[in-house]
Amino acid sequence: MAMETFDVAAIRKDFPILEREVRGNPLVYLDTAASAQKPRAVLEAIQNFYQNGYANIHRGVYQLSAEATALYEGGRDDVQRFIGANDRREIVFVRNATEAINLVAHTWAEQNLEAGDEIVITALEHHANIVPWQMLGERRGTKLRVAPIDENGDVVVESFEALLGERTRLLALTHVSNAIGTLTPLKKLIDIAKARGITVLVDGAQAVPHTPVDVVALGCDFYVFSGHKLFGPTGIGVLYGRLPLLNAMPPFMGGGDMIETVSFERTTYAEAPQRFEAGTPDIAGVVGLSAAIRYVEGIGLKAIEAWEQTLLTYATRVLGGMDGLRIIGNARRKVGVVSFVLEGIHAHDVGTALDQTGIAVRVGHHCAQPLMEFFGVPATVRASFSLYNTPAEIDALAAALGETQELFS
């Protein structure tokens, strides 16, 4: 898609925060990989719910409760459609992708894995898809194995395949690297695993805002993501799981609304998804996530993906042509993320300098310390692009980086 065919100016008007200034400069927000800004449609949906329609859901016999329940369960339908699930009951609402992974680790994995069984991840993973499996190993004696990447940040498929053995029970891998933007060959890796009868969990937190997802076509067993990276509110996330697996899994937490019957002697549990949604949920979060999904669908993920690829290509050319700047991660397929270091300047100093000109980037290890160690850097500066970013903002970033280099020379 050519730049002029995507009406980014109109889209930017949907995001009120982009009208503000930071330190006397227009805000240039290049940190969507950490959390996306919110369009007016999401803000208004949440406000309208709290202002005009708030009530607790399920079991209420009065109109407000019925309306709130319809909004909440309608959000489940929106997620089902958005990721191509077969059944609305396969959509479980949680706080975020991290909670979803931990839920699977404490239920399905506890129930199905034993000492000596292996879990395979990749070298690209966020800590949220590393630490829960290490903790499981401490509890159950399972082993964690890591599929390598090459110097560009691509998964080495042959080495990945060789890593799968008789004791491999779970493949838990990212769809998109949060730190360097690698878009993994997910379908190929899943097919390899499924041919060996291996269960597959996908961390899709960085994928769903950038590229269409169809969990049935992918063939994964679990898929997780967070609402706040998809232009929705914080505190709401999604676990997709194939229904037979969910209904065979024990509850993660006990409480109200996840039960069938309760007595002092014995409790029986509801079927999925209710058995995993104990207590009063983040109703407004679901309302906001639902509005975010409809907003994205209104623009079209393919159009968003094409625009972001245009920005990525431009940023890679502009930043990659700067003396003293090294881009970390040059995978064959990437989303709109450019992670880099400036020679002789710590990433945190770069981020602080950029902030003085109103440019917001993420600096640090990006919750991917093993990946930083692989590339031999303590931290990077990460500029991440979204549907509301422009080539002019990339030019502003490059100019500010040049000034930063002069400042530290």
Domain annotation for the chain: domains and CATH numbers: 3-30+301-408 (3.90.1150.10), 43-298 (3.40.640.10)
Q: From residue 54, how far is each of 70, 237, 320, 376 by CA, in Å?
A: 12, 20, 50, 51
- Predicted confidence at residue 4, as pLDDT, reads 45
Instruction: Return phi, psi of residue 364, to 5°.
Output: 130, -155
Q: Give residue-wise pLDDT tens across range 218-239.
A: 999 999 999 999 999 999 999 9
Active site residues per annotation: 367
Whether residue 60 has pLDDT greater than 90:
no
Q: What is the mean pLDDT of the segment spanning 300-324? A: 97
Which residues, 6 or more positions from 84, have their beta carbon under 8 angstroms from its beta carbon? 213, 214, 215, 216, 217
pLDDT tier at 2 (50, 70, 90 boundaries)? very low
Share the mean pLDDT of the chain.
Answer: 96
Query: Does the CA dihedral 308-313-318-321 come out positive or negative?
Result: positive
Q: From residue 188, how far is each of 53, 217, 220, 264 by CA, in Å?
A: 45, 12, 11, 50
Contact in structure between 333 and 183 (CB atoms under 8 Å): yes
Rounded to the nearest 5 degrees, what angle is found at the Cα of 144, between the Cα atoms of 139 and 149?
Answer: 155
